[in-house]
């Protein structure tokens, strides 16, 4: 063991069920307490106001579920990864489950710095065309409207064919709504399944500190493009995985960054 | 726990702030099969989650009731305004955190009464639950609505809404109530018969069995009993042994941040100091200590079970615990090992405290707090607050030398016998402290420190020696606060803040009110009052309108000198402290005579005829 060795580990975990309603900061505190309960000693930063050394790869918006969350943290001593995982799972509340525990193979950059894209499953519930919208074939009467797979495929194709997808986005600094073209941030979008007029799409979009696209923004643009009716709680958003770019320039799921040796 | 109500709630959650406060699912929240118990008890805190979950009493009662096999205690909070709006629009009734079942499904709904300004929230929560506001309008299958906590000692302003009150320590009376409820249920009796059973339990007050009698001048003269077996005066409950009282070792750990997100252990109940304005000092008598070993054991098991990184101890006056020094040393030791920060509220600043504070605030010195309450020794003698100017100056000098650079001072205006000389005394203390800081910092003008003078308006409280004293008028309060503001303005590094006079006035009206004030509370709620303790929601015009609409004169309760009244609106509630003691304390106050701390010698308040005073005369050497 080297004198200056740091014991940095990373876990991949879920955030589902009622846990989707807690914020990024609350999740940070939740993990801190879980480490305490499990008797795992985190390394603290030195200085005026010491805080535990841990960081998430990419914050998840309140209200979204995920099975593709990552947390990196530093311990005061070496730990067995399998025991770490089990010890945490024993004390975490239902909804947060550690799926993997490993070490980041990139010794220079944190996961947060490496995140480049995210895959999402988004369900649009109870898809219904606006009564006034044109260009939509309503098979029978509105009440027993049945969505057709080809319809959805066509809409996705048409949507992505656009040179620009302009949405109104609130600027962080000025708080003003400004038009932004999000088309370059959409890497892929396809139909995953149709279930009773609920359609599930799989999205691959840019994510991370460089360019980042909130899937809700994209879905609202798609709903507008299609001319669907909007309703409260219509979107269910689930993050599947985060991606980074490897040395060869290929896109890799974040789990490939971890070593389990 | 999937039910239709849950789905409806989940649909509105994306529209509201901090949705995590409405979903439950916290570590150590209790899941039971409601069908397996005989009593479903809804513990209701009449404010939002983040405040209610910071209240230790909730954790104590939740733990205690859920240990009973036949009882399921669930939590209920007031929804924030945005949530209420969504709930009303979607027709969602008030629900519990644990099962998302409607509050109307509970057998007993129990409110905790911590402050008067939460009363409109109680009315609002009943309305949201679909429970008729008035006890007399509730049908046989509806929950019993009860209340406890410090404000239950002067229950009349809530008498219309509450079926029964529990007075005093809650630990035992709650169990008695749940047992009585089970027996009543098995006996298949009527609603009224349960209330009759309850009225015979010590500490339980059933307002429906009492009819207030008013004299021609409108002053209450007594209570006419409507049920023979109800007691003439309701004596509060006492628990004797704190070490044996149930205390949570697996507290609920909130998922979302609360006001006090930390582990808390109550080290003792009660206070021996006898400040004459202080209601808690009467209501929690006598002093009952939790032993050092038990405090340390509970702290360790709470921290291990919760993972919290902060520990606090709770009492009315930390330094007065008989084992405080070894206790703090032990706690500090444990916290250091576990990287937990320790917070010690209301420490008296002596040499021991300084060594402790230096240790626990090594990195961030949070500032020191003093509560002289009055600006001159004369007035401090009147209120029986024993802190002296020299004590404050000595402590602040030492603090400044050790590197603390902020101090906060609490005062009250409107105390009995107060003159403007006493206000000048407040200014003088601030000025002298300022000199001390310059002095310690070698006279440097730019030295960084801050002195905060925080002034509240005195609200005379029931069950205190000052209970009959008329409150200052809002104009008097305003003049005094402006006077202080002007006098303190030239002092650099001194910050002044004071309370809104309307809130203090309303507190007095409700605290000292009789049953007729119920109508005002209801009308204020109808006019839209909620969350009156929140500055941004408080609207005094609505309250004035409510008093006008109901023909109730608030000043009658707040400003009238009650010294000749034979009966007070809370005289039928027995705090265990005798009226003779209050009278003699008032007489002594008027003469500027102090009463000793009762751990030096018994002062004859009367409480020891009901419970053993552990500290009585313990410092008599």
Per-residue model confidence as pLDDT tens digits over A225-238: 999 988 877 899 99
B95 touches A: beta carbon within 8 Å:
no
Give the DSSP letter of residue A204: E
Residue B143 three-state SS: coil
Instruction: Find, among B402, B496, B401, the residue nearest to B454 by Cα.
Output: B496
At residue A17, does pLDDT exceed 90?
yes
Q: Minimal Cα distance from A48: which residue of B?
A: B363
Chain A residues within 8 angstroms (CB to CB) of chain B: 17-19, 21-23, 25-26, 29-30, 32-37, 41, 44, 48-50, 62-63, 91, 93-95, 232-233
Angle CA A29–B266–B392, to nearest 5 = 95
Q: Is the dihedral of CA B312, B314, B316, B320 positive or negative?
A: negative
- Interface A–B counts its CB contacts (< 8 A) at 73
Q: What is the mean pLDDT of each run of 10 residues along chain B (621 residues)?
A: 80 93 95 97 98 97 98 98 97 97 98 97 98 97 98 98 98 98 97 98 98 96 97 97 95 95 96 96 96 97 96 93 93 91 84 81 72 96 93 90 89 98 97 91 75 97 98 97 97 93 97 98 98 94 98 96 96 97 97 93 93 78 43
Report the gap between the CA of A252 and the closest CA in chain B (Å): 32
B166 touches A: beta carbon within 8 Å:
no
Q: How many helices and strands (H and E) does chain B possess?
A: 20, 19
- Residue B265: count of CB within 10 angstroms of its CB: 25
Give the DSSP letter of residue B224: E
Instruction: Please list every residue in chain A whose beta carbon sits closer than 8 Å to the beta carbon of residue B26.
Output: 93
| Cβ atoms of B602 and B613 closer than 8 Å | yes
Hey, which bits of B380-435 come out as E strands? 406-413
Instruction: Find, among B82, B164, B98, B92, the residue nearest to B129 by Cα.
Output: B92
Report the gap between the CA of A20 and the closest CA in chain B (Å): 8
Q: State whether B11 and A232 contact (CB < 8 Å).
A: yes
Q: Minimal Cα distance from A47: which residue of B?
A: B363
- Cβ contacts of A250 within 8 Å, gap of 6 or more: none
Instruction: Please list every residue in chain A whose beta carbon sits closer than 8 Å to the beta carbon of residue B253.
Output: 33
Report the gap between the CA of A251 and the closest CA in chain B (Å): 33
pLDDT score for A3: 60
Look at A129 and B53; give whichever has higher pLDDT: B53
pLDDT score for B364: 61
In this complex, the residue of B14, B303, B309 whose CB is nearest that of residue A233 is B14
Res. A140 pLDDT band, cuts 50 70 90: very low
Tell me how long chain A is.
261
Q: Minimal Cα distance from B362: which residue of A?
A: A48
Report the gap between the CA of B102 and the closest CA in chain A (Å): 19
* Backbone phi, psi, residue A51, to 5°: -135, 155
Residue A228 three-state SS: strand
pLDDT score for B445: 63
Q: Minimal Cα distance from A36: which residue of B?
A: B307
In this complex, the residue of A41, A48, A93 whose CB is nearest that of residue B25 is A93
- Cβ contacts of B169 within 8 Å, gap of 6 or more: B236, B237, B238, B239, B269
Report the gap between the CA of B357 and the closest CA in chain A (Å): 17
| Cβ atoms of B234 and B204 closer than 8 Å | yes
- Secondary structure string (H, E, C) spanning B206-217: CHHHEEEEECCC
Specify the range with the lowest mean pLDDT, choosing from A127-136, A251-260, B83-92. A127-136
Instruction: Please list every residue in chain B whose beta carbon sits closer than 8 Å to the beta carbon of residue A49.
Output: 363-364
Mutate to test the interface with B, among A17, A19, A22, A91 (most CBs of B within 10 A): A22
| Cβ density class B60-75: b for 16+ within 10 Å, e for less | bbbbbbbebeebbbbb
At residue A135, does pLDDT exceed 60?
no
CA–CA gap between residue B585 and residue B588 (Å, rounded): 5
B308 touches A: beta carbon within 8 Å:
yes
CA–CA gap between residue B388 and residue B176 (Å, rounded): 46
Q: State whether A91 and B307 contact (CB < 8 Å).
A: yes
Instruction: Please list every residue in chain A whose beta carbon sits closer than 8 Å to the beta carbon of residue B12.
Output: 232-233
CA–CA gap between residue B220 and residue A117 (Å, rounded): 73
Q: Which helix (H) or strand (E) holds B124?
A: helix B119-129
Q: State whether B20 and A18 contact (CB < 8 Å).
A: yes
B257 touches A: beta carbon within 8 Å:
yes
Per-residue model confidence as pLDDT tens digits over A191-215: 999 988 899 999 999 999 889 999 9
Mutate to test the interface with B, among A23, A36, A96 (most CBs of B within 10 A): A36
Q: State whether A18 and B24 contact (CB < 8 Å).
A: yes
Per-residue model confidence as pLDDT tens digits over A46-101: 877 778 999 999 999 999 999 999 999 999 999 999 999 999 999 999 999 999 99
B10 touches A: beta carbon within 8 Å:
yes
Instruction: Find, among A241, A252, A250, A186, the residue nearest to A70 by Cα.
Output: A241
Mutate to test the interface with B, among A17, A18, A40 (most CBs of B within 10 A): A18
Q: State whether A22 and B20 contact (CB < 8 Å).
A: yes
| Cβ atoms of B110 and B42 closer than 8 Å | yes
Report the gap between the CA of A210 and the closest CA in chain B (Å): 27
Report the gap between the CA of A51 and the closest CA in chain B (Å): 10
B306 touches A: beta carbon within 8 Å:
yes
B300 touches A: beta carbon within 8 Å:
no
Instruction: Please list every residue in chain A whose beta carbon sits closer than 8 Å to the beta carbon of residue B24.
Output: 18
- Residue A237: count of CB within 10 angstroms of its CB: 20
3-state helix, strand, coil in chain A (%, to 5): 25, 35, 40
DSSP for A151-190, written as a single string = HHHHHHHHHHH-S--EEEEE-TTT--EEEEE-GGGEEEEE
| Cβ atoms of A106 and A8 closer than 8 Å | no
CA–CA gap between residue A155 and residue B587 (Å, rounded): 87
Q: Minimal Cα distance from A61: which residue of B?
A: B14
| Cβ atoms of B597 and B614 closer than 8 Å | no
Q: State whether A19 and B304 contact (CB < 8 Å).
A: no
Report the gap between the CA of B393 and the closest CA in chain A (Å): 29
CA distances from A4 to A1, A76, A259, B42, B389 (A): 9, 11, 20, 55, 55
B89 touches A: beta carbon within 8 Å:
no
- Secondary structure string (H, E, C) spanning B555-597: HHHHCCCCCCCCCCCCCCEECCCCHHHHHHHHHHHHCCCCCCC
Q: State whether A26 and B256 contact (CB < 8 Å).
A: yes
3-state helix, strand, coil in chain B (%, to 5): 40, 15, 45
Q: Which helix (H) or strand (E) holds B69?
A: none
A32 alpha carbon, distance to own chain's centre:
21
CA distances from B81 to B7, B85, B86, B121, B226 (A): 20, 6, 9, 11, 40
């Amino acid at each position: 063991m080297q004198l200056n060795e740091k014991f940095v580990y990373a876990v991949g975990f879920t955030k589902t069920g009622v846990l989707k309603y807690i914020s990024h900061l609350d999740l940070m505190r939740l993990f801190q307490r879980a480490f305490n309960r499990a008797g795992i000693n985190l390394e603290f930063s030195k200085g005026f106001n010491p805080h535990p050394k841990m960081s998430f790869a990419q914050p998840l918006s309140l209200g979204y579920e995920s099975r593709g969350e990552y947390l990196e943290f530093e311990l005061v001593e070496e730990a067995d990864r399998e025991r770490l995982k089990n010890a945490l799972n024993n004390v975490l509340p239902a909804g947060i489950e550690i799926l993997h525990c490993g070490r980041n193979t990139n010794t220079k950059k944190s996961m947060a710095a490496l995140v480049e894209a995210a895959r999402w499953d988004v369900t649009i519930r109870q898809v219904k065309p606006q009564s006034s919208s044109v260009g939509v074939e309503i098979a029978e009467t509105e009440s027993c409207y049945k969505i057709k797979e080809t319809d959805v495929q066509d809409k996705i194709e048409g949507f992505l064919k656009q040179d620009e997808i302009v949405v109104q986005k609130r600027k962080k600094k000025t708080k003003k709504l400004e038009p932004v073209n999000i088309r370059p941030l959409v890497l892929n979008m396809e139909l995953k399944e149709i279930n009773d007029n609920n359609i599930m799409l799989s999205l691959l979009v840019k994510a991370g500190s460089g360019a980042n696209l909130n899937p809700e923004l994209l879905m609202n643009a798609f709903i507008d493009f299609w001319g669907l009716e909007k309703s409260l709680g219509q979107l269910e958003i689930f993050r599947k995985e985060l991606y980074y770019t490897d040395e060869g320039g290929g896109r890799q799921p974040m789990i490939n960054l971890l070593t389990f040796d | 726990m999937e039910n239709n109500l849950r789905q409806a709630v989940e649909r509105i959650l994306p529209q509201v702030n901090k949705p995590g406060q409405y979903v439950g699912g916290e570590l150590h929240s209790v899941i039971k099969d409601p069908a397996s118990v005989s009593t479903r008890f809804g513990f209701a805190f009449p404010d939002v989650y983040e405040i209610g979950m910071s209240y230790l009493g909730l954790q104590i009662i939740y733990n205690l009731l859920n240990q009973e096999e036949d009882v399921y205690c669930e939590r209920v909070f007031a929804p924030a305004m945005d949530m209420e709006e969504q709930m009303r629009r979607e027709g969602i009734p008030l629900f519990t955190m644990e099962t998302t079942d409607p509050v109307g499904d509970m057998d007993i709904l129990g409110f905790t009464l911590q402050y008067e300004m939460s009363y409109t929230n109680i009315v609002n929560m009943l309305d949201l639950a679909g429970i008729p506001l008035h006890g007399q309008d509730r049908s046989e299958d509806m929950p019993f609505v009860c209340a406890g906590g410090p404000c239950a000692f002067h229950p009349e302003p809530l008498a219309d809404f509450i079926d029964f009150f529990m007075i005093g320590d809650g630990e035992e009376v709650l169990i008695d109530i749940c047992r009585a409820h089970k027996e009543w249920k098995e006996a298949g009796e009527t609603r009224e018969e349960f209330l009759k059973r309850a009225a015979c339990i010590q500490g339980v007050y059933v307002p429906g069995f009492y009819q207030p009698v008013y004299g021609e001048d409108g002053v209450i003269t007594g209570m006419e009993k409507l049920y023979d077996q109800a007691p003439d005066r309701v004596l509060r409950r006492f628990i004797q042994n704190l070490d044996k009282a149930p205390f949570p070792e697996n507290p609920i750990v909130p998922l979302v941040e609360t006001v006090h997100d930390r582990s808390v252990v109550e080290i003792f109940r009660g206070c021996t100091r006898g400040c004459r304005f202080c209601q808690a000092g009467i209501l929690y008598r006598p002093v009952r200590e939790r032993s050092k070993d038990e405090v340390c054991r509970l702290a360790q098991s709470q921290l291990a079970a919760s993972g919290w990184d902060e520990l606090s101890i709770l009492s009315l006056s930390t330094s007065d615990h008989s084992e405080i020094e070894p206790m703090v040393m032990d706690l500090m030791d444990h916290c250091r090992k576990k990287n937990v920060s320790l917070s010690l509220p209301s420490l008296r600043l002596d040499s021991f405290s300084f060594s402790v504070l230096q240790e626990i605030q090594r990195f961030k010195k949070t500032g020191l707090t003093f509560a002289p309450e009055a600006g001159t020794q004369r007035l401090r003698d009147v209120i029986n607050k024993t802190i002296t100017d020299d004590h404050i100056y000595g402590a602040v000098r030492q603090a400044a030398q050790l590197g603390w650079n902020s101090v906060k001072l609490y005062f009250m205006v409107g105390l009995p016998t107060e003159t403007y000389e006493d206000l000048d005394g407040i200014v003088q203390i601030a000025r002298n402290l300022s000199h001390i800081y310059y002095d310690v910092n070698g006279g440097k003008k730019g030295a960084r420190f801050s002195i905060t003078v925080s002034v509240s308006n005195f609200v005379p409280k029931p069950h205190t020696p000052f209970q009959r004293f008329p409150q200052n008028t809002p104009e008097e309060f305003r003049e005094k606060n402006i006077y202080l503001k002007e006098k303190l303005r030239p002092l650099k590094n001194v910050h002044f803040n004071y309370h809104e006079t309307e809130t203090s006035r309303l507190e007095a009206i409700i605290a000292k009110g009789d049953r007729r004030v119920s109508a005002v509370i209801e009308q204020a709620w109808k006019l839209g009052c909620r969350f009156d303790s929140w500055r941004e929601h408080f609207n005094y015009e609505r309250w004035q309108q409510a008093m006008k609409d109901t023909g109730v004169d608030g000043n009658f309760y707040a400003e009238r000198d009650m010294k000749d009244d034979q009966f007070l609106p809370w005289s039928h509630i027995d705090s265990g402290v005798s009226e003779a003691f209050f009278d003699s304390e008032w007489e002594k106050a008027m003469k500027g005579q102090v009463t000793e701390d009762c751990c030096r010698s018994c002062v004859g308040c009367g409480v020891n005829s009901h419970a053993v005073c552990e500290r009585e005369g313990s410092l008599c050497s």
